[in-house]
Amino acid sequence: MDTSGQTPLLVAAGQGGRVAAVAALLADPRVNVSLTDKNRQTALHAAVEYNRTGVVEVLLAHKGVDPNGKGYMGIRALHLSVVKAIIIYECYKKVAQTDRQEYEF
């Protein structure tokens, strides 16, 4: 764990985005999947934050991962994913308007 509370699992799930690395870490019984960083973010939060869909799938398939775990300000990974989806949708709309093309949403 580093000074910000980042564990190898948190880094692999978020910044690294490596499904194989996350799966290998989850196979190690010494790895605590519930550990959070200094912002109370879990590996699942990190994967959602970095749009790592493959990592999210691997984490959710692991029996020790709590999909309802609360992070900073009580935000669950599901809430974070919804907010990110809305932002992405709004960006697509802006691009479509800029290109002046007709898109169905």
Q: Is the pLDDT of residue 4 over 80?
A: no
Q: pLDDT-derived band of residue 19, with 50, 70 and 90 as boundaries?
A: very high
Mean pLDDT of 22-36: 94
Categorise residue 76: left if φ over 0, alpha if ψ from -120 to 50, beta otherwise. beta
pLDDT above 70 for 101: no
**Average pLDDT in the chain:** 85
pLDDT band at residue 104 under the 50/70/90 scheme = low
Kindly tell me the burial class for residue 34, based on how many C-beta atoms sit within 10 Å of its own C-beta (0-12, 13-18, 19 or more).
exposed
